Structures are given as C-alpha cells and as structure tokens.
Amino acid sequence: FDCGTPFAKKASSAPPPPSIEIAADLGAETFEDATMQSAPVPAEEPVPAESVAEPIPEEQPPPFAAKLVLETADGNGTEFTLGHLENSLGGSAAHVELGEDPHVAPHAATVAFVDERLVLRDEGSANGVYVKVREPAPLEPGDLFIAGERLLRYDGPVDVSRAPAGDPPLLGAPRPGEALYRVTEVLLGAKTGRTCHRAPPAVSIGRTGCDMNFGDDPLLAARHAEVRLAEDGAATLVDLGEGASGVFLRIRPQQPVELQAGDVVRIGDQRLRVEVG
C-alpha cells in the first residue's frame, strides 16, 4: 500500500446487539422530576397525655381523725394532724417535722392507719423510737428502755463463772444454783456504764434504795422502775408510777406497735402525745 493510505478495516465478526422493542400494549409510566417538591405528609394530631396515661388513684382519707401533740416543758406545743394513711416522722422533709434535733433521723418512724387501727413503725433509725410504758411490758434480751435521763439495756440471763468444785467460793460469788440476770447502763456513744446482776424477783431502778441508783438524775423518782423476773425466766418492765417522766420502751425493728389515745412517743428528745377524734 502507499504511504499514508489507511489500513483497511476488518469486517466485524460479532453480531449486532438485539434491538429493544417496547410492546405497544404496555402503558408508559411517567415520573415527575425528582427535584420537584413532593406533597407534605399530613402530621398526626397531638393526643392529650391524660387520654393515654393511666390515672393516678387519689389517696384515700384516713378512716378517723388523729393527731400528734408535741409535749414541751411549758405544756403543749405544735400539733401535727395525721392527714395521710402513712405519716412520716423525722427531719424537715417528713410529714411530722421534729426540728433540728440531732438525734432524729430524716425518716425515723411512720404512723399509719391500718385496718381501723393506728400503728407506729420504726424505720430503722440509729437512735430508735420509744413508747411510754402504760402497763407491764414483756422484755427480751437486748431491749432498750429509758428511765429518767438513763438509757438502759436488759441483757437477760448471764453465765457467771463459779469457783471450781472443792475450792472456797470467792467473795461476792453467787450462791450455787442461782440464776442471774443483767441490766446495763448505756452511755453516750453506745459505751457501757454501770451493770447490775441480780437474781429474781426484780432489778429496781431509781435515785436511792434501789439495785441501780442514779442519785444525780433529776427526772428519776426514788423508786422509779423495775425489771421483774419470773421463775421461768420471763422478764417484764414496770413503771412504778412515782416519777412524772415515766418509762419508755424502744419498739423493735420490723415489729410495729398499735397506738392508743394518750400514748406518748419519744423520738430523740422529742415527745409526741397521741390524740384521737
């Protein structure tokens, strides 16, 4: 071939692609331009919350009227109406607010209406909740009670070491076969003060002439209280009725007690009298 003459094209051996045919009976679907704004989706109307939320049941009123009256040195103090089925006693956030007493927990106790009764429950406070003794009250080892300004604990029967057989008894040793029971004074900081070991029938407490004498306690009568001891080992706390301050027994945790009109509850240094009606 001559210079500058293009190469001859080779015949293509591949078959041409098939043509695309559209059947005439198929309707053509047209689409709007994608850039066009679509119609807005209708917003759902807001539903009032009260129509879907479960209604909160209203608190039922107490079955009877009752209140707590704060006892002070000058007479009656603040009155607290028990307006709920469960009324908290304690610090500033409680239903019955007991001021700035450092011995009172934020929620020390609860007074509740239960089956037409008024019930006091200790909520596990460190210093406990006490009720004034009106009738002889049974004691269990470990129970705490207040007489005058003294905090005392009934420890129950104790095993005192005895002299070996054949040896002369030590001075002050208990008589053979005699069961002994102990009452302990509890000092500030849960430390141990005076202790008294006695055999039945009783351990007496007061200012003078008793088994446990606290002559400098102005709130104690000469003979103020007794822990009476039965032959079967049962112990009972008795207010002898000679001291105006009375005797207070700590209620046990998880063991609510029923309150009656005239009962006096002690929390910290606060005393509250129950009035019904």
Write the pLDDT tens digit of every residue in 73-106: 887 789 999 999 999 999 989 999 998 899 999 9
Q: Furthest-apart CA pair in the chain: how many Å?
A: 152
For residue 77, what pLDDT is reported?
87
Q: Is the pLDDT of residue 183 over 70?
A: yes
Could you tell me the end-to-end alpha-carbon distance of the chain, in angstroms, rounded to an integer?
133
For every residue of 17-75, which 3-state class applies, written as one string? CCCCCCCCCCCCCCCCCCCCCCCCCCCCCCCCHHHHCCCCCCCCCCCCCEEEEEEECCE
pLDDT band at 19 (very low <50, low <70, confident <90, very high): low
Dihedral angle computed from the Cα positions of residues 68, 73, 78 and 80, in that order, rounded to the nearest 10 degrees = -10
For the cut 60, the answer to whether the pLDDT of residue 245 exceeds it is yes
CATH architecture of structural domain 130-159+179-250: Sandwich (2.60)
Neighbour-count burial of 183, counting CB atoms closer than 10 A to its CB (0-12 exposed, 13-18 middle, 19+ buried): buried
Ordered by start, the domain boundaries in the chain are 130-159+179-250
Sign of CA dihedral 35, 39, 40, 43: negative
Q: Tell whether the model's pLDDT for residue 134 goes beyond 60.
A: yes
What does the buried/exposed string (b/e) look like for 124-142 if buried means 16 or more CB atoms within 10 Å of the residue's CB?
A: ebebbbbbbbeeebebeee
* Cβ-based neighbours of 32, under 8 Å, separated by 6 or more: none
Q: Give the torsion sign (CA, 15, 17, 22, 23).
A: positive
Q: Calculate mean pLDDT across residues 130-157.
A: 97
